[in-house]
Amino acid sequence: MENAHERHWPQGLSTLETRQLNRRHYESYICRRIVGKQAVVVLGCDNRHMDQ
């Protein structure tokens, strides 16, 4: 969980403004929730349909 704070997130997620601008792209990702945690993971194997 060391990357939980947004300052450690990738550039496309690191600010609220950037997340709002890219929201329509995020809706296409398949995410998995970690039960019992405030976290989700986005696995490459689940999202082969997305561009690099």
- What pLDDT is stored for residue 52 in this prediction? 65
pLDDT on residue 1: 65
Distance CA 30, CA 45 (A): 10
**Positions in the chain short of pLDDT 50:** none
The pTM assigned to this predicted structure is 0.54
Note the pLDDT of residue 20. 93
